[in-house]
């Protein structure tokens, strides 16, 4: 099965293997979404296992250099002949940060393609930027005294690196022995195009050589396909998702290729950083608490209601939504049932997250229509999600598909019970409450009525104070830390190290 991870020895007692993560974002330096958080937490957990795990990401203008001072360690990486790049647009430098926590991170410095840009993503030439990152990483390793045993690439933006390593750099002395792992965080995004609507002339089979950086054909490349094709090992961010993407419904046009690669396809559920997400010590919530003193958690519910102008009442059932607002996350279902729910069920709702304007406008109308019962903040925010997790009774994640999902794990850590669809990482992390056991409310079909029934089930269960308190206590004691996930990655790394 795709998610099976063989039982093989770990690295304990061996010389520490060197792992380099390549990513367009990495917390705490720069974070846009879940990928950035994974790039902080997974290398950290691997270092605790004894790995020498480092990260390479671009240096963006938005980085706080006072908090993260950088030292230039290599200058003048060149990738394009001078006659084709007279202005030196593709010339890069590499800088390094070393923190007190023994974190070593490298940063690719390029004014034209990274530091002049206001955002991490969203530019017409993004493919050029990510090909530059991948090629620069290999050029840097050629010059470096530190050479990784394994390079871990993430999603389509870095799927070009395994291709380069297999075809353009495979004969270089330092690089010939490096193995690659490709982590699929979301198969839906494959390049600077909609892969569902491609002409034959724009189709990238992954077989041809990657064009030069100045070639306009580079914009047609499918980084996801190339990452899958040319990596030594492929990992999805949950076991269920590793099986789902072999099907037509979830494979996004790559399911046949993935079936060919299924012998090296595995699934490891993402985790959350328990040092950051700790309700006993979290300074971002007004009243720290644990599963042993849930009466303090009730104080956060009051704070949440006050923050979002809801009627303050501890007896009200409060549903929270913390999410990027788009179709993948099930917002079409939410829109279809919202008005009937508010007309027939006594509850409150809080929404936090940015995204598609049509959802934001819908929720703003809901605020006007149901004052005191509906509140929202429709922009990305680092602090408010913690208050929602700590104060809401339930968290809603009705995704159409969900490779892993972190919100449901973060919410359970703070005692907010998930209402989720049985899909991807949600299926791997939430057990449906059957009247006696379970830590959430799960529905199967992507259907508004199935979602409505799950919400009503949760609301009715909430009315039984003793039962609800038991569910909350059990959910908070789940172990979704990166420790177990890192041990699974340890086994997969050893498959690659044995191949070396």
Query: Would you list which residues are annotated within the binding site for ADP-alpha-D-glucose?
Result: 31
Helices 294-307 and 465-476: crossing angle in degrees, nearest 10, is 100
To 5 degrees, how large is the angle CA 380–CA 381–CA 385? 115
- How far is it, in rounded angstroms, from Cα 313 to Cα 329? 29
Contact 427, 399 (CB under 8 A): no
CB contact at 8 A, 330 and 398:
yes
Pairing of strands 104-109, 52-58: parallel
User: What is the chain's Cα-based Rg?
Assistant: 23
Q: d(Cα 253, Cα 434) in Å, to the nearest integer?
A: 36
Given a contact cutoff of 8 angstroms between Cβ atoms, the answer to whether 67 and 44 are in contact is no
Q: Measured between alpha carbons, how far is 125 from 131 in angstroms, rounded to an integer?
A: 10
Question: What is the C-alpha separation between 32 and 34, in angstroms, rounded?
Answer: 7
Is residue 2 within 8 Å of residue 242, measured between CB atoms?
yes
Residues flagged as binding site: 31
CA-to-CA distance for 228 and 155, rounded, in angstroms? 9
Q: Are 390 and 415 in contact (CB under 8 A)?
A: yes
């Amino acid at each position: 099965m795709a998610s099976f991870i063989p039982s093989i020895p770990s690295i304990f007692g061996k010389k520490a293997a060197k792992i380099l993560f390549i990513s367009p974002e990495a917390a705490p330096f720069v974070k846009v979404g879940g990928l950035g958080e994974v790039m902080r937490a997974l290398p950290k957990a691997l270092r605790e296992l004894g790995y020498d795990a480092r990260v390479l990401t671009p240096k963006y203008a938005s980085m706080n250099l006072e908090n993260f001072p950088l030292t230039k360690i290599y200058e003048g990486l060149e990738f394009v002949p001078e006659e084709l790049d007279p202005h030196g647009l593709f010339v890069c430098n590499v800088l390094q940060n070393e923190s007190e926590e023994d974190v070593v991170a490298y940063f690719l410095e390029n004014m034209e393609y990274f530091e002049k840009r206001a955002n991490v993503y969203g530019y017409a030439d993004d493919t050029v930027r990510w090909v530059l990152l991948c090629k620069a990483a290999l050029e840097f390793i050629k010059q470096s005294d530190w050479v990784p045993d394994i390079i871990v690439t993430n999603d389509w933006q870095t799927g070009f690196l395994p291709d380069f390593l297999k075809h353009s750099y495979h004969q270089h002395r330092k690089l010939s022995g490096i193995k690659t792992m490709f982590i699929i965080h979301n198969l839906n995004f494959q390049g600077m195009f909609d892969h569902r609507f491609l002409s034959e002339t724009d189709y990238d089979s992954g077989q041809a050589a990657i064009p030069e950086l100045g070639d306009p054909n580079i914009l047609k490349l499918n980084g996801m396909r190339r990452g899958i094709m040319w990596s030594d090992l492929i990992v999805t961010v949950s076991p269920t998702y590793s099986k789902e993407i072999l099907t037509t419904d979830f494979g996004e046009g790559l399911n046949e290729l993935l079936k060919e690669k299924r012998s090296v396809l595995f699934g490891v559920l993402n985790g959350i950083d328990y040092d950051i997400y700790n309700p006993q010590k979290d300074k971002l919530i007004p009243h720290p608490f644990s599963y042993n003193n849930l009466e303090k958690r009730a104080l956060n519910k009051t704070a949440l209601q006050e923050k979002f102008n809801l009627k303050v009442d501890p007896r009200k059932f409060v549903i929270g939504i913390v999410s990027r607002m788009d179709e993948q996350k099930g917002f079409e279902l939410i829109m279809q049932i919202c008005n009937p729910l508010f007309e027939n069920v006594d509850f409150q709702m809080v929404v936090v997250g940015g995204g598609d304007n049509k959802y934001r406008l819908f929720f703003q109308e809901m605020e006007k229509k149901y004052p005191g019962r509906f509140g929202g903040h429709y922009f990305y925010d680092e602090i408010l999600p913690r208050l929602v997790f700590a104060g809401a009774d339930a968290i809603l994640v009705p995704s159409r598909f969900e490779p892993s999902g972190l919100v449901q794990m973060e919410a359970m850590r703070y005692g907010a019970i998930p209402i989720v669809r049985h899909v991807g990482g949600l299926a791997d992390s939430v057990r449906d409450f059957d009247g006696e056991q379970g830590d959430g409310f799960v529905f199967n079909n992507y259907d508004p009525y199935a979602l409505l029934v799950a919400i009503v089930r949760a609301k009715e269960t909430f009315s039984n104070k003793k039962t609800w308190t038991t569910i909350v206590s059990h959910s908070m004691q789940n172990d979704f830390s990166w420790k177990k996930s890192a041990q699974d990655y340890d086994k997969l790394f050893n498959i690659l190290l044995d191949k070396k």
